[in-house]
A and B are shown apart, each in its own frame.
Chain A
């Protein structure tokens, strides 16, 4: 009993917390500039952060066994929320993504980004003695439920992102190399059919990557304005609150998906490099923590959560720098958005818990 108390009063990793703090504060500073319409997003983001940090601290002190036992439950809850959003969700920009329960509004698709990898990790942990082809098949089936629900919202970006973390887990859990190669090959063959299955606007967004100026006022508009923001920021940037692209509303979604374009315009490539370094330190520390874990669940869950956050970073930055098509993807810890912020912080709390209790759950 005394022993377990000692374990429970676990420490929170300094490196992760410090880098997280820097990212969040810089994000807030940028949000203040981006939210020039004074719609109080700054205040509400602080509330999101506080809520998220509380979640982080609470979960970091929670016994991983408790967390583990609740995973199927919260996964089913998040699936039900996705079904709910399908029928009763709020529509925004042509997609049903939001649930409004009076005092708060949230996006179940952001929640599933974290519950799906946890669920897969849970599944592999349960079957760790008997992992074979059929268990990978079951894992794929578990993934297919939220994937389908999100794809039909429609939100291709998030659907792909949960697939990244899910595939990362399935791959790490020992997917045979033959299957991997066979799967990739099948995907390649299937790509023309997938292309046809895409909505017109999705096709246009992908095409506009090749030449955004083809349809400068249509599908290419967001990419162009984002590139102009980045490019005109140059090496040292235009200075805080001084971004013409943002202040004059040329940049779309300046506080959410495109907030890093605002940052790039105001603080330049030097600022971008600095933040990238912080993200790199953050992910390297998390990866190190993952590598020190002992059990299957901890390793797979941590990896899944890292990939989930990391792919958020990659997709968002790829999108604003014109490398990837425009999909609705916030920059983790940086973009305005309650669900994403709270859930990301909570999942860091889970990793902390898994890390500080690694020897406890090793056996």
Chain B
């Protein structure tokens, strides 16, 4: 190549090379424009996400106390060793290393796996809960041996009264998928950031929103290593409210212990204001077992137990009322101008239908002789009510029973209360596709038949006898109470005081000599009561009624009572399952509760 020719080539190619680089630079400027101007918002967000973290501060759960400020649910500071299951970790390796420091039982491991499996929410899961001080110390000293675990202080729920508060206070458990769906529907999910637990039953569930509180947050700036550079802003959580209950836990303990090994329910209320003082469902369970998810062994034990310890019999248990229904049926008669004293009738010990089709027997074969309405209640005369029921008819009976609150929820501040059942023609047609027999009205009048009530309905209805027109909506939260549902709206009793007087007299005579619960009489105060025996099988009068209830629900002993009779302060409804006849088992339980509650009462 000649020198001049070379010079020409160099000059030409020089510009090509430099030109190429300018083109590349131009492309880079375009790329900068895309990133910095077009995609600015996207990267701006990424930049903020990089360095700004929002840390929720969970509120601590409100306490639950009884009317005397005895703590029923409290938060205990515990230390857990926790793992973040969302981060890559070698669980077996962690377990082995941890075991060299502190004991990790198979139950701990099982709990960890169970929580991890059901964990939809929390960030870290305990592998070892509630470390002793000694264990905390030895973990801290040798923490370096185990990566990916951290010592986490937690406020853990604790129920100091264990079984005694189980059904009414309920329990909390870890938030599961259903809870999350529910929270999302209620638009409350945001409030549970940083919270692992939620109320599942009882008051813990009912007042979840108040007990939970509002979470706070801390907005922090972190560097690339996660070190906190500064706190940008923070807001303290608003801790959950303390819920004070109407319950007197000491009274409740007395009631529970009175049950001994028997199954059943008891509810004690102040008839003047509707405050529930004792709320007992037996058998019960230890709510502390549930807090971090109950283990399989305990769950199977509780769930498969034939006596159903997890069933809250007070609002979820439905029973045939037996003779405890008689005062209300008697009221139905009086309201319809029937059987008003001095009306009397002779009881031969049986009642035959006017058409002679059936005969219904009294519980006392020889009969009670001359009976008026007051005596009929005192001796629990069946015959009196058979004829009365037939004359009134099912519509009028149910109408009055409904006014007393049967067949609908009482509106007590707990969820999923059962309505019980007031059966009638229409119900039987729909349910069984059979017509209603007059004989069914007859037995309804003595509390047999299809009628089903919950213990709380019995107690609530009794308060309406004990105190006229009182504001006695049953409730558990101390203080002003607003009815929960339209069903629970207070309905003015149309009954006049005069008419109610006869019912009260009858119930007072139950504990008088000759009454069915005469043994309840004592010097200090007068108890007004009505006993009941709920037989589902082998009905008096022999009419066989097919029923949905399982066999083991028969022969329940029931009692409704209030005292002192002249100035009622406490209403009690008791059901003792398989308790045999009348007040013999239910009576003494109620008596113990009255005795304790009225211990300072002087009969003047």
Contact = CB atoms under 8 A, between A and B. Distances in A.
A253 interface: no
A296 interface: yes
Contact of A287 (B6, B18, B39): B18
Interface in A298-335: 299-300, 303, 306-307, 310-311, 313-314, 317-318, 321-323
Nearest to A251: B224
B50 A245 contact: yes
Interface stretch (B24-32, B427-435, B485-493): B24-32
B51 A269 contact: no
A221 to B, nearest CB: 10
Given A249-B224, A269-B32, A232 B15 contact: no
B155 to A, nearest CB: 33
Q: Which of A172, A244, A306, A322 has the most CB of B within 10 A?
A: A172
B596 interface: no
Interface in A202-250: 224-225, 227-235, 244-245, 248-250
A264 interface: yes
Interface string B8-19: 011101111110
Nearest to B1: A131
A171 interface: yes
DSSP majority for the A interface? helix
Q: Is the interface of B mostly helix, strand, loop or mixed?
A: helix
B225 interface: yes
B222 interface: yes
A272 B221 contact: no
- Taking residues whose C-beta sits less than 8 angstroms from the other chain, chain A's interface range is 35 or more
A172 B10 CA distance: 5
B40 A232 contact: yes
B39 A299 contact: no
A177 to B, nearest CB: 11
A276 interface: yes
B36 A290 contact: no
Interface in B26-70: 27-29, 31-33, 35-37, 39-40, 42-44, 46-48, 50-51
B21 interface: yes
Interface string B221-246: 11111000100000000000000000
B203 to A, nearest CB: 47
B134 interface: no
Contacts of B6: 128, 131, 173-174, 296
B51 A244 contact: yes
A347 to B, nearest CB: 16
A255 to B, nearest CB: 15
Interface string B101-124: 000000000000000000000000
Given A174-B6, A321-B35, A283 B223 contact: no
A249 B225 contact: yes
A291 B28 contact: no
B306 interface: no
A130 B10 CA distance: 15
Contacts of A130: 1
A189 to B, nearest CB: 23
B7 A296 contact: yes
B221 A234 contact: no
Contacts of A244: 47, 50-51, 221
A317 B29 CA distance: 9
Given A235-B40, A317-B28, A290 B46 contact: no
Nearest to B7: A296
Contacts of B44: 231-232, 234
Contacts of B14: 172, 287, 290-291, 299, 303
Contacts of A128: 3, 6
B22 interface: yes
B25 A231 contact: no
A6 interface: no
Interface band, chain B: 35 or more
Contacts, number: 147
A178 interface: no
Interface string A245-287: 1001110000000000000100011001100100110010001
Contacts of B21: 283, 307, 310-311, 314
A132 B42 CA distance: 55
A323 B27 contact: yes
Most buried by A among B6, B22, B221: B6
A168 interface: yes
A303 B18 contact: yes
Give the most central of B10, B25, B39, B40: most A CB within 10 Å. Answer: B10
B17 A307 contact: yes
Nearest to A236: B36
A295 to B, nearest CB: 9
Contacts of A283: 18, 21-22, 25
A228 B18 contact: no
Q: Give the one of A231, A313, A317 with max B CB within 10 A.
A: A231
A244 B48 CA distance: 9
Interface string B399-412: 00000000000000
Nearest to A286: B18
A314 B28 contact: yes
A129 interface: yes
A361 to B, nearest CB: 14
A131 B3 CA distance: 9
Contacts of A287: 14-15, 18
Nearest to B229: A248
B226 to A, nearest CB: 10
Contact of A228 (B1, B43, B229): B43
Contact of B40 (A172, A231, A276, A313): A231
Contacts of A225: 50
B37 A235 contact: yes
Contacts of B32: 230, 264, 269, 272, 317, 321
A235 B36 CA distance: 6
B54 to A, nearest CB: 16
Given A234-B44, A307-B17, A250 B28 contact: no
A322 B33 contact: no
A264 B36 contact: yes
Contacts of A311: 21
A279 to B, nearest CB: 7
A311 B21 CA distance: 8
Max chain A CB contacts within 10 Å: which of B17, B21, B44? B17
A323 B222 contact: no
Contacts of B1: 130-132, 174
B47 A232 contact: yes
Contact of B35 (A131, A173, A231, A249): A231
A230 B36 contact: yes
A299 B43 CA distance: 44
A311 to B, nearest CB: 7
Contacts of B224: 248-250
B318 to A, nearest CB: 59
A248 B222 contact: yes
Contacts of A174: 1, 6, 9-10, 13
Nearest to B221: A248
B17 A303 contact: yes
A64 to B, nearest CB: 17
Contact of A233 (B16, B18, B36, B51): B36
A129 B3 CA distance: 6
22 contacts: A128-B6, A130-B1, A168-B17, A172-B14, A172-B17, A227-B35, A231-B40, A231-B44, A232-B43, A234-B37, A249-B225, A272-B36, A287-B15, A291-B11, A296-B6, A296-B10, A303-B17, A317-B25, A318-B24, A318-B31, A322-B35, A323-B27
CB-based closest 3 A-B pairs = A231-B43, A232-B47, A269-B36
Given A172-B17, A322-B35, 7 more contacts: A228-B50, A230-B36, A231-B36, A250-B51, A299-B11, A310-B25, A321-B31
Interface of A: 128-132, 168, 171-174, 224-225, 227-235, 244-245, 248-250, 264, 268-269, 272-273, 276, 279-280, 283, 287, 290-291, 296, 299-300, 303, 306-307, 310-311, 313-314, 317-318, 321-323
